[in-house]
Amino acid sequence: MTKRSGYRKARKAEQQARMVEVERAWRGSIPPDVAAAFDAQVKAVRERGPLPPKPDMAPGTRPNPPRPGREPKAPKQDERPRRRS
């Protein structure tokens, strides 16, 4: 748990109070139907939850690519027929 000084706690409380005031002013400045649509969108996103993280690699790549110069060799191909005994 992080400890906060009294000054930082008071400053955070002031910032939160200011954000509530700004949001109330913003809500008062928009039409009620726009506010209702916004609330519906916010509710839908909160119900959906967080999106899964996007893959950071291209599809089909191995999870742990080899270092340059250390690529695996291609499978050996038999070009000669086997001898019969």
Nearest to 42 by CA among 59, 23, 61, 21: 23
Is 56 part of any domain?
no
pTM above 0.85, yes or no: no
Q: What is the mean pLDDT of residues 40-52?
A: 94
In a domain, 16, yes or no: yes
Q: How far apart are CA 13 and CA 44, in angstroms?
A: 29
- 18: which 2 tokens? 């200011």
Please give the tally of structural domains in the chain: 1
Confirm whether 17 is domain-assigned: yes
Domain that residue 16 falls in: 6-48
What is the phi/psi pair of residue 15, to 5°?
Answer: -65, -40
Mean pLDDT for 22-50 is 94
